[in-house]
Amino acid sequence: MEKATDQSTVVLKEDDSVGVVQIADDVVEMIASLAAAEVEGVSAMAGNITNELMAKVGVKKLTKGVKVIVEGGNVNVDLAVTMDYGYNIPATCQRVQSKVKNAIENMTGLTCNTVNIRIAGINMNKGQ
């Protein structure tokens, strides 16, 4: 029984005898980010200029480039990624979509409806 308590969390399980299980949207973003980064050919998650500047001074946010909307137990994900040069973009994106969808559904029990990907850049340096 999923119900939203506010915009940043969703109730996964509500049982008066045991308690309530809630998951924050940030957790779903983290799951999506880590799953996408595991796919070969994805160099990094891309973020806005604020995230890039913060990373340069040592503050890294792993969910940069990830936007998650959770509504009624359904998840919609928008990812911005930087890919390594030489990888097939459509095939790599399909692997990212599948990996992110499976990770979210297996770890949270929520239904992942869409995983939209925007290629924000190409990494020309091999081995990074």
CATH of the domain at 92: 3.30.70.1350
128 found inside a domain: no
Q: How many CA atoms lie within 13 A of 20 on its CB side?
A: 10
Structural domain contains residue 3: no
- State both tokens at 50: 């604020």
Look at residue 49 in the predicted model and tell me its pLDDT.
43
Domain count of the fold of the chain: 1
Under DSSP, the state recorded for 30 is H
Which residue, among 19, 20, 21, 24, has the nearest Cα to 9 in the 3D structure?
24
How high is the pLDDT of residue 10?
Answer: 75
Q: Which pLDDT does position 47 carry in this prediction? A: 61
Q: Which of 107, 95, 101 is nearest to 42 (CA)?
A: 95
Q: What is the pLDDT of residue 54?
A: 47
Give pLDDT, residue 23: 86
User: What would the two tokens of residue 22 be?
Assistant: 């809630």
| pLDDT for position 55 | 52
DSSP 50: H
Looking at the domain assignment, is residue 106 inside a domain? yes
Instruction: Judge whether 82 lies within some domain.
Output: yes
- 39, part of any domain: yes
Q: Tell me the pLDDT of the chain (128 aa) as tens digits.
A: 444 444 577 777 666 677 777 888 889 999 999 999 999 999 887 764 444 444 555 445 556 789 999 988 899 999 999 999 999 999 999 999 999 999 999 999 999 999 999 999 998 886 54
